[in-house]
A and B are shown apart, each in its own frame.
Chain A
Amino acid sequence: MITIPYLTAVSTYFSYGLLFAFGQLRDYSRLIFDWCSTNNLQGYAPICLAHEDFYIRRLYHRIQDCFNRPISSAPDSWVDVIERRTTKSTRCLNLGSYNYLGFGSFDEYCTPRVIESLKKFSASTCSSRVDAGTTSVHAELEECVANYVGKPAAIVTGMGFATNSAIIPVLIGKGGLIISDSLNHTSIVNGARGSGATIRVFQHNTPAHLERVLKEQIAEGQPRTHRPWKKIIVVVEGIYSMEGEICQLPEIVSVCKKYKAYVYLDEAHSIGAIGKTGRGVCELLGVDTADVDIMMGTFTKSFGSCGGYIAGSKDLIQYLKYHCPAHLYATSISTPSAQQIISAIKVILGEDGSNRGAQKLARIRENSNFFRAELQKMGFEVLGDNDSPVMPIMLYNPAKIPAFSRECLRENVAVVVVGFPATPLLLARARICISASHSREDLIKALKVISKAGDLTGIKYFPAAPKKQEEEKDRIKLD
């Protein structure tokens, strides 16, 4: 849980209040100027009312150069960030892309095979999986993914977001209950809303509260009619992308087993990035994959490709293949992308004949732990658990969001800053994603730059640790 210091909260509210006041002032002056010009809506209702996009127009647009920065090279550890209004680009250290195992650019094993499959199968099949969109590569991919994740069968779709939106309505409908973590991703929320089931939320990563909610809901039954629920699905994520925390899976699984609820695990960020062989949060925390009913994940982050998968029992996957709309109506995943995933999994498991996979996994763990420890020593407020490659640094104040981002870019380090509405209003943060392709020198340079930017913007909310230890050592020596 993040507790914001009192003074910072006051100053953040004040800043937002000031920005809001200025925004309203500008809106009023715009109204006055627009009085003269004619309204060209001609009887149509306005497509967007003034108050709906107030935040976008008056707050977001002031700092929009911090987002949507275009790049002109592969999203590797060093990228060419294009400067605005020019075609020049600067080489920057990339701390923002989800490139956990370094497959985001040309890879000596994967890319030749991808090009081969492109020549053989072309970029797309132009058809859905059930019609003529299943190639031998797709069949191999599903087997490969199922083996890797540790489940009997898997189904693959072309987009991670659409996987959640298309699968959850197939599994549960009206009369069912979905209990989801309060900080779940938008795709899960969309899928849950589209399914028509009742949705309840439990406190982030708190198995005790989940148990309370489950007991209450089973005892009460459906709202108003009090009939018993048809089924209950509990949705959690492996690593939460905005907090960097790892889910407390063993406790949650035991609670769900006790109350006969089904567990749906979304491993978008954790598959391939944590665990000894990269098999995700189940391997890291020692949970048997047979206890998790539905395992979902995406290939965008650790495998450098696109698409999403669902792994489960053979019957479950057969049922999904018959009914899932993404399988029946949408174009199948592009064949070269599928080949990239197969090759990446082979590299990770060491089946390509080298130990690059094991090296990558060891390096990402080392890099994440080193970086996090150093940042905490410098006095930054860093969230997330050990071993997680996602590190949010708290900024809080809205003025520090663009300041931190621009300062880092000036020193050729590209960071990602996030504010409302992706995070709560007061809790803006800068999010660092560590990759296995970052070398020790890259990380040390990044630490220097972040420390300098942190001093300038004043975000070192905790006292820096090592100086105290050094002072103590001196005192002891003197004594």
Chain B
Amino acid sequence: KITRENSKAKSFASPLLWANDIFCSKSTGISWNSLAALCWIHRAKMDTNLVEMFRAGLNWVTMALDAPSARVVLFGVRIQWHIFVEVLLGFVIVILLSQKSYKPPKRPLTEQEIDELCDEWVPEPLIPPITEDMRHEPPVLESAAGPHTTVNGKDVVNFASANYLGLIGHEKLLESCTSALEKYGVGSCGPRGFYGTIDVHLDCETRISKFLSTPDTILYSYGLSTMFSTIPCFCKKGDIIVADEGVHWGIQNGLQLSRSTIVYFKHNDMDSLRSTLEKIMTKNKRSKNLRRYIVAEAVYQNSGQIAPLDEIVKLKEKYKFRVILDESNSFGVLGRSGRGLAEHHGVPIEKIDVVTAAMGHALATEGGFCTGNARIIDYQRLSSSGYVFSASLPPYLASAAITAIDVIDQNPELLVKMKQHIALLWKGLKDIKGMSLASDPESPIVFLKLENSSGSTKEDLLLLEKMADRALKEDSLLVVSSKKSFLDKCRLPVGIKLLVSAGHSESDLVKVSESLKRLASELLL
């Protein structure tokens, strides 16, 4: 008998005990078996009774399940039996969801497998096999690399040194170098931050600033590292740089190290530059907050072209870009007094944000510098890797630079002479067959490019090398044939370069034009 009356008076726990008794114990009477037996007995009666039976059974089940919670009132809400079923279902759902989806078990490599892989791995050789053309030896000079030099005991006319004003071997330079060597020794034995700043460095920086009328200058100890230290200083990831496709390797390396977005425009083509700038400014709405730079060279080392600075400045002001200009081959050469491209085009130098130059060209010394407004230069003193982590320029080279600038200031006739020589050379090489003059008529780099390229750069380079070798052997002339490293991404046409100096004589220039014309007609046709 269901002792419901008993449960009425008892606490919440007792209905559970009661239910437990019902289902587990045999002694209280009603169990599932007896319930089934009862149903079976009643089945024997009429079918109409079946529905009644079913209803009665349902009632009974309801009451049986309701019983434990018949008196339960939780938070003022009566809990009914279906809540338990729902709660149970909820638990089942939670358990299923928290199961991890099936993944095939990860099996890391065993020690033995790792050892086998290490044994099987064969690296490539450190360098590819050496071919014959790699064994080419450059000429060895036995005297100073001035307009005339000695190779293998023979006197040779030198068109391969960027000695534009003929300052190699100048007595004033040699004097100042000698006194600096006796006072300071050769090296500076330390980076600029750790007692490597010698007073000649500071004097050199002030002298360059005075010469170019800029607020401040910073000296680097190597020409090539100037550009690839300056650019990563200002251009970081996410910035936009528009560069000429003909820039030299130093600039390309700087662009790569900066990890910015780089867009190249056609070599020295202002229309291409304009359309590139237009595209960048309209395409990218966020461009307005990014730093944007145009990188160009004043006189391109790879082609001898001169950049039209006035147009670049107009474009820069229209689209709000900053200009980084490399004046290595134009410092001391272009302009009425040698102050570079800005003077040549009549542009005030404040409009160019960063000017860098290597001093190994017109100044006949080594190293490089960067000049601009005080904030920019100050920033480089701490963040430029080639300045902070490298030893400073040897002091005798810095004093040579100061003397060279003094000489340029006091002798403007050197520039005039150099310009005359360029004009003479152009006249002489105007009708050369098989090659054409590809440089600007005012640039000190006279570039003769091949008219009919064979299609493969390697073949062209070999041909030009042969031409330069024969010029040296037969006519005692040193000329430069283009050399390309596989790291250099510049795809401009290759050719022969002649570097004109104020120290050449007219007979030298005539000699080189005749010789090149002869060799071109023999080798190229």
Contacts and interface: CB of A to CB of B under 8 A. Distances in A.
B49 to A, nearest CB: 76
Given A104-B185, A194-B256, A323 B360 contact: no
Given A303-B187, A334-B366, 4 more contacts: A121-B141, A138-B140, A306-B221, A337-B186
B175 to A, nearest CB: 10
A322 interface: yes
A336 B184 CA distance: 14
A115 B178 contact: yes
A99 interface: yes
A433 to B, nearest CB: 9
Nearest to A123: B400
A231 interface: yes
Contacts of A53: 379, 383
Nearest to A56: B382
A45 B225 contact: no
A96 B192 CA distance: 12
B433 interface: no
B169 A122 contact: yes
B173 A97 contact: no
Q: Interface residues of B toward A: which range? A: 35 or more
Nearest to B221: A159
Interface in A115-152: 115, 118-127, 129-136, 138-139
Contact of A122 (B224, B322, B364, B386): B364
A133 B185 contact: no
B189 A98 contact: yes
Q: Interface residues of A toward B: which range? A: 35 or more
Nearest to B192: A68
A132 B139 contact: yes
Contact of A322 (B134, B197, B376): B134
Contacts, number: 344
Contacts of B224: 159, 162, 166, 325-326, 329-331
A257 interface: no
Interface stretch (A184-192, A244-252, A380-388, A392-400): A184-192
7 closest pairs, A vs B, by CB? A331-B360, A159-B222, A132-B160, A330-B224, A161-B390, A75-B189, A300-B391
A320 B73 CA distance: 90
A161 B249 contact: no
B366 A232 contact: no
A328 interface: yes
Contact of A219 (B118, B183, B366, B400): B118
A259 B484 CA distance: 34
Interface string B170-212: 0001100110011111111110111111110110000000000
Contacts of A56: 379, 382-383
B198 A70 contact: yes
B296 interface: no
A135 B141 CA distance: 4
Interface in A37-80: 42-48, 53, 56, 60, 67-76, 79
B121 A47 contact: no
Contact of B386 (A161, A185, A216, A261): A161
Contact of A105 (B185, B221, B322, B386): B185
B193 A67 contact: yes
A428 interface: no
- Identify which of B115, B149, B201, B394 gathers the most chain A CB atoms within 10 Å of its CB: B394
Contacts of A423: none
A171 B127 contact: yes
Nearest to A133: B145
B227 to A, nearest CB: 11
A260 B185 contact: no
B492 to A, nearest CB: 14
Contacts of B178: 115, 118-119
Interface in A248-275: 259-262
B366 A122 contact: no
Contact of A124 (B117, B195, B360): B360
Contacts of B487: 169-170, 323, 325
B149 to A, nearest CB: 7
B190 A96 contact: yes
Contact of B127 (A43, A298, A319, A326): A319
B358 interface: yes
Contacts of B121: 218, 228-229, 260
